[in-house]
A and B are shown apart, each in its own frame.
Chain A
């Protein structure tokens, strides 16, 4: 026990921990923001994994073609959106089972990315680091929050933007209504399935952007296992957060921190079995959600398809 505490103290004493935690948290947050909005509209969207992967690969292609990070990120968002369009129209126009669609898309995109990657072998590298003057000099937290590659900073405006969208616009109100009581929303004159499709589109945009950030802001070069289940951890983060944006962001920070232990424990000199480190984020995620999930209230119509007149 004591050893654990001293290990934790050591880990928390290094700025590597904070930097990598912030990076992982940012990736999760990109996905979780859009995903929260999609789920508030009633879609438990498990194709986030596919959206991130598609985003990452498209970013590589975009960068390879133009040598510009911005174009790469735009490609990433477009790729996420394409997945979202397929998913949304299959499950909220044709009412195919959303889990079946999501899962199949995950497998399809993994195959596509692998296949195309072998054929195209896009070259990419990490975007340059931009250190915000003064702020990045704050000990420990400074480099983590203000000393990252520049796509990282996109998360800062995205968080308030999502808040504004979900809680301060009519669109957001309608999204929330649709996920809680689609029949009532329908009678009030809201196109339920349209709002749900739009929710998924938004999730595709942010998750795609997350994928672009993962590639160009974090990893640099594309490989097939680049996402490694983070899409699902993002979903867990928002369940942890009780389907609120604030809670989802908190969940992302928590799971990002756990993910960073994987990297920082060995760097501060602790010998931990590789497999234990690899499994750590997933085990902690499952355990955390198991503790918190039953206390939160999910959107009442989550994962229930809507067909007018059918209740």
Chain B
């Protein structure tokens, strides 16, 4: 047995002058950092300019965002609460992305999952905690089902999933809207609401996700579940043969097919999981209380699905990065609640978010091209 041996790397090419290597590595890191900093700076400057053009003050906006997300009493708890569904959506999207799938319909999967979970939560029998777990799992299954439609169409009829997942967002919203208009489905009885309000009944307190109070901030305990969840996904994707095969499928489907990774099994699993976690995000929103006060309302998803997708796009298939990014996006969202005082429309945060995403696309693309060019130059010379 040689397992105790330390990892040696004898093929590592002899470094021609250690100092030169360290220097060039430091310079490389500098280039990378510079690229990221400058593109983020450009995104922020454009956003600031937009604020200034429309008559606002970017200093005030920045300060209001900070107040709303962090500094004002109780706000960082809210930010944590908002980050939870973003993490679920983001991590789910990362799983799908590893399998090479472009699921952009999380908003629909989330809405559908939330509605089905709500229905379950209102109608299931049994003691609270069990009903809560069952309700979350049912929400997960519903989200997976909604994504699964696109999966079947993709692998059976070759319809691009990028198209169907998105078209299903609208369909999902209409299905949920339909259910919300029917008392036998989700609509609360007339006694429980003011006459024209379209809302569901409120979830029974025993079936809500518990909340913790800390330093005057309150947040749901699902925060911890989300963190644990991210770690599990990171391990599964990075350390298991299943994660390995999923990645193989995403990078080269034909090689994967030859190697025994069937797209029906693995690709479908990736899509179901990514939809499922969007559905779970919806259920957590319903049962967590940070959205809609334990009631389902029209437009319940409030773009959490799309924001979670953006989180995943920036994380570029690395699950652990989802957490800090979800926090940033959640902070922008909770911060935007304080923007009214500055006279700047809250949509500015949506703009900042997407500009950040675009800006963060640029450095890896440049680095990728550079790396490929180097490898290519070395290769062309030999053939």
Q: Which residues of A contact B (CB under 8 A)?
A: 44, 46, 86, 90, 94-97, 99-101, 103-105, 107-108, 110-112, 114-116, 118-119, 228-229, 232-233, 235-236, 239, 273, 275-276, 278-279, 282-283, 285-286, 289-291, 293-294, 307, 309-310
Q: What's the minimum C-beta distance from A281 to chain B, rounded to whole angstroms?
A: 9
Given the known interface contacts A229-B166, A310-B376, the answer about A116 and B157 at a Cβ–Cβ threshold of 8 Å is no
- A residues within 8 A CB of B163? 232, 235-236, 239, 289
For the complex, give the distance between the alpha carbons of A285 and B159 in Å: 11
Given the known interface contacts A114-B347, A307-B369, the answer about A104 and B310 at a Cβ–Cβ threshold of 8 Å is yes
Q: Does B119 make an interface contact (CB < 8 A)?
A: no
Given the known interface contacts A118-B345, A286-B153, A307-B369, the answer about A279 and B351 at a Cβ–Cβ threshold of 8 Å is no
Q: Does B164 make an interface contact (CB < 8 A)?
A: yes
Q: Does B253 make an interface contact (CB < 8 A)?
A: no
Contact A90 B358 (CB under 8 A): yes
For the complex, give the distance between the alpha carbons of A275 and B179 in Å: 10
- A residues within 8 A CB of B345? 114-115, 118-119
- B residues within 8 A CB of A46? 104, 162, 166
Given the known interface contacts A111-B347, A310-B376, the answer about A94 and B369 at a Cβ–Cβ threshold of 8 Å is yes
- B residues within 8 A CB of A239? 159-160, 163
Q: Does B256 make an interface contact (CB < 8 A)?
A: no
Q: Which residues of B contact A (CB under 8 A)?
A: 50, 54-55, 102, 104, 153, 157-160, 162-164, 166-171, 174-175, 177-178, 181, 306, 309-310, 313, 345, 347-348, 350-351, 353-355, 357-358, 361-362, 364-366, 368-369, 372, 376, 379-380
Given the known interface contacts A90-B365, A94-B365, A99-B102, the answer about A108 and B162 at a Cβ–Cβ threshold of 8 Å is no
Contact A279 B306 (CB under 8 A): no
Contact B347 A232 (CB under 8 A): no
List the A residue with the shortest CB-CB distance to B172.
A279
Contact B355 A115 (CB under 8 A): no
Given the known interface contacts A94-B369, A96-B361, A289-B159, the answer about A115 and B348 at a Cβ–Cβ threshold of 8 Å is yes
Contact A228 B170 (CB under 8 A): yes
21 A-B pairs within 8 Å (CB atoms) are namely A90-B362, A94-B362, A94-B366, A96-B362, A96-B365, A99-B102, A100-B313, A100-B361, A103-B309, A104-B354, A107-B306, A108-B351, A108-B358, A110-B350, A111-B351, A116-B54, A118-B347, A229-B167, A232-B167, A290-B159, A307-B369
Excluding A44-B162, A46-B162, A107-B353, 19 further A-B contacts by CB distance (< 8 Å) are A46-B104, A86-B358, A97-B361, A105-B354, A107-B350, A108-B351, A111-B350, A111-B354, A112-B347, A116-B54, A239-B160, A275-B174, A282-B168, A286-B168, A291-B157, A293-B157, A307-B372, A309-B379, A309-B380
Q: What's the minimum C-beta distance from A236 to chain B, rounded to whole angstroms?
A: 6
For the complex, give the distance between the alpha carbons of A157 and B177 in Å: 41
Q: What's the minimum C-beta distance from A179 to chain B, rounded to whole angstroms?
A: 15
Q: What's the minimum C-beta distance from A141 to chain B, rounded to whole angstroms?
A: 29
Q: Which of B153, B351, B358, B380 contacts A112 (CB 8 A)?
A: B351
What's the dominant secondary structure at chain B's contact region?
helix
Contact A104 B350 (CB under 8 A): no
Q: Which of A118, A233, A294 contacts B157 (CB 8 A)?
A: A294
- B residues within 8 A CB of A279? 170-171, 174-175
Q: What's the minimum C-beta distance from B382 to chain A, rounded to whole angstroms?
A: 12
- A residues within 8 A CB of B306? 107
Q: What's the minimum C-beta distance from B362 to chain A, rounded to whole angstroms?
A: 6
Q: What's the minimum C-beta distance from A125 to chain B, rounded to whole angstroms?
A: 24
- A residues within 8 A CB of B376? 307, 309-310
Contact A275 B177 (CB under 8 A): yes
Given the known interface contacts A104-B313, A104-B358, the answer about A119 and B54 at a Cβ–Cβ threshold of 8 Å is yes
Given the known interface contacts A111-B351, A228-B170, the answer about A44 and B178 at a Cβ–Cβ threshold of 8 Å is no
- A residues within 8 A CB of B174? 275-276, 278-279
- A residues within 8 A CB of B157? 290-291, 293-294
Q: What's the minimum C-beta distance from B50 to chain A, rounded to whole angstroms?
A: 7
- B residues within 8 A CB of A285? 167
- B residues within 8 A CB of A278? 170, 174, 177
Contact B159 A283 (CB under 8 A): no
- A residues within 8 A CB of B353? 107, 111
List the B residue with the shortest CB-CB distance to A281.
B170
Q: What's the minimum C-beta distance from B310 to chain A, rounded to whole angstroms?
A: 7
Contact B372 A293 (CB under 8 A): no
- B residues within 8 A CB of A294? 157-159
Given the known interface contacts A108-B355, A279-B170, A307-B369, the answer about A115 and B347 at a Cβ–Cβ threshold of 8 Å is yes
Q: What's the minimum C-beta distance from A209 to chain B, rounded to whole angstroms?
A: 23
Q: What's the minimum C-beta distance from A42 to chain B, rounded to whole angstroms?
A: 14
For the complex, give the distance between the alpha carbons of A291 and B158 in Å: 10
For the complex, give the distance between the alpha carbons of A114 and B174 in Å: 22
For the complex, give the distance between the alpha carbons of A27 and B366 in Å: 37
- B residues within 8 A CB of A293? 157-160
Contact A95 B358 (CB under 8 A): no
Q: What's the minimum C-beta distance from A119 to chain B, rounded to whole angstroms?
A: 4
Which of A99, A108, A228, A236 lies at the interface centre, i.e. has the most chain B CB atoms within 10 A of its CB? Answer: A108
Contact B313 A282 (CB under 8 A): no
List the A residue with the shortest CB-CB distance to B383.
A309
Q: What's the minimum C-beta distance from B248 to chain A, rounded to whole angstroms?
A: 18
For the complex, give the distance between the alpha carbons of A94 and B358 in Å: 12
Contact B354 A108 (CB under 8 A): yes
Which of A44, A46, A100, A108 lies at the interface centre, i.e. has the most chain B CB atoms within 10 A of its CB? Answer: A100
Given the known interface contacts A115-B345, A283-B171, A286-B168, the answer about A107 and B54 at a Cβ–Cβ threshold of 8 Å is no
10 closest cross-chain pairs (CB), A and B: A111-B350, A108-B354, A279-B174, A275-B178, A94-B365, A115-B347, A275-B174, A111-B351, A96-B365, A294-B158
Q: What's the minimum C-beta distance from A306 to chain B, rounded to whole angstroms?
A: 12
- A residues within 8 A CB of B348? 111, 115
Q: What's the minimum C-beta distance from B377 to chain A, rounded to whole angstroms?
A: 9
Q: Which of B153, B175, B347 contacts A290 (CB 8 A)?
A: B153
List the A residue with the shortest CB-CB distance to B153.
A290
List the B residue with the shortest CB-CB distance to A236.
B163
For the complex, give the distance between the alpha carbons of A279 and B366 in Å: 41
